[in-house]
Amino acid sequence: MTPEEFQALDIRVGTIVDAQPFPEAKKPAFRLWIDFGGTLGTKTSSAQITTHYKCDQLIGRQICAVVNFPPRKIGPFVSEVLTLGLPCENGEVVLIRPDFKVPDGGRLY
């Protein structure tokens, strides 16, 4: 990947304002509503993060997501952003988030 290709990714920080189970998903997942503030507003995401997180623990948590991919329809739900995470030792997703609270909508460079 070139620096220009990396810069084409629009990775932003947002705060999860709602999280619900997603029983219709093929793999265990949650439906997330993430507030990116400003002109982006609240976007939806489907995230396979059920091993390490519970819905009520996610609300108010800041996370990072790619916000400029096309929306994907996952069953009856439209995922507008790609929530980012890293695999732990058993391959389950651990969310990427800032160490300190930062303004929602801030862009990763």
So what's the pLDDT on residue 20?
A: 98
Entry pTM = 0.94
**pLDDT tens per residue across span 52-83:** 999 999 999 999 999 999 999 999 999 999 99
Q: Can you list the domains of the chain with their CATH numbers?
A: 10-95 (2.40.50.140)
CB of 11 closer than 8 Å to CB of 108: yes
Average pLDDT value for residue range 29-41: 97
Report the distance separating Cα 26 and Cα 5, nearest Å. 31
